[in-house]
Amino acid sequence: MKNIKAVPAFWLLLCSLPTMAEVSDDPTLTKVMLNQLEIRDIGDDNTTAWDAQAWIGKDLQKIWIKSEGEYANSKTEESEVQLLYSHAIAPYWDAQIGWRGDIRPSPDRHWLALGFQGVAPYFFEIDSAIFIANHGRVGARIEAEYEFLFTQQLILTPELEMNFYSKDDIDTHTGAGLSDIETGLRLRYEIRREIAPYVGINWSKKVGKSADFSREANESTEKVEALLGIRVWF
């Protein structure tokens, strides 16, 4: 009699196994994010700038590609690419390691990248990294942004980026210490969550030895630019 009563319980357990397997399944996913594709200094001599990221992987482990740069005067003036392995270390936080390549301006530079990316308290999005190159060169970068929701579709995003370097690099006009600061304010309207045109303003400034190098080359050390762009992800 006990064996007969055990049959329904065994059958229920057996039927639940596929469901349990589905819950524990960890599929491979992908995401492509064109965070910024914009025209700056709108007019005859405008600049096209981009900031894009993509990843493929599972819940805890991913491969990231990051790219940013500027196109102006019929050429690519700045271009950076990163290829990173990312592993979750806490809720909303990943540790990342990989390669950073500064393709433009010439000569190119290659770095070992070590960083953290995630969401800090009060929903600040943080992307920070240390970069190590040959000849004892070390760099550091901190990026932060925050989203103010006026409505579910109208969103204001202030952003800040700072770069630091341990040594002067005369060839790329990069000085030791705090090298440059960039901050922006972008107001977007999400037609859908995946598509959002935006307007804004961007301010960038080279400081310290980086500013000295730019002045010696008759280059601008500070820019304030109006911008118009689109944000897309899928």
Alpha-carbon dihedral of residues 82, 93, 49, 33, nearest 10 degrees? 90
Give the integer Cα–Cα distance in Å for 185 and 71: 20
pTM for this structure?
0.86
**So what's the pLDDT on residue 130?**
99
Q: Is the pLDDT confidence value at 92 over 90?
A: yes
State the pLDDT at residue 14: 40
Q: What is the reported pLDDT for 24?
A: 52
| pLDDT for position 148 | 98
pLDDT at 4 over 60: no
The residue-averaged pLDDT of 147-169 equals 98
Question: How confident is the model over 89-115, as a mean pLDDT?
Answer: 97
> What is the distance between the alpha carbons of residues 206 and 25, in angstroms, rounded to a whole number?
48
| pLDDT confidence of residue 43 | 64
pLDDT at 45: 76
Confidence bin at 41 (pLDDT 50/70/90): confident
CA dist 58 and 233 (Å) reads: 18
Q: Which band of pLDDT confidence, cut at 50, 70 and 90, is reported for residue 154?
A: very high
Distance, CA of 231 to CA of 189 (rounded, Å):
10
Q: What is the pLDDT of residue 37?
A: 98
Task: Assess whether pLDDT exceeds 90 at residue 96.
Answer: yes
Decide if pLDDT at 3 tops 80: no
Give the domain 28-233 fold: Porin (2.40.160)
* Structure-derived torsion over alpha carbons of residues 98, 122, 154, 234, reported in degrees to the nearest 10: 30
Averaged pLDDT score across all residues of the chain:
91
What residue segments make up the domains of the chain, in order of their start?
Answer: 28-233
Residue 81 has pLDDT above 90, yes or no: yes
Q: Is the pLDDT confidence value at 9 over 80?
A: no
DSSP string, 148-193: EESSSSEEEEEEEEEEEESS-BGGGTB-SEEEEEEEEEEEEE-SBT
- Residue 201, phi then psi, degrees to nearest 5: -140, 145
pLDDT more than 90, % of the chain: 83
Q: Is the pLDDT of residue 185 over 80?
A: yes
Q: Which element (helix H / strand E) includes 21? A: helix 2-24
Beta-bridge mates of residue 84:
64, 98
The tens digit of pLDDT for each residue in 122-147 reads 999 999 999 999 989 999 999 999 99
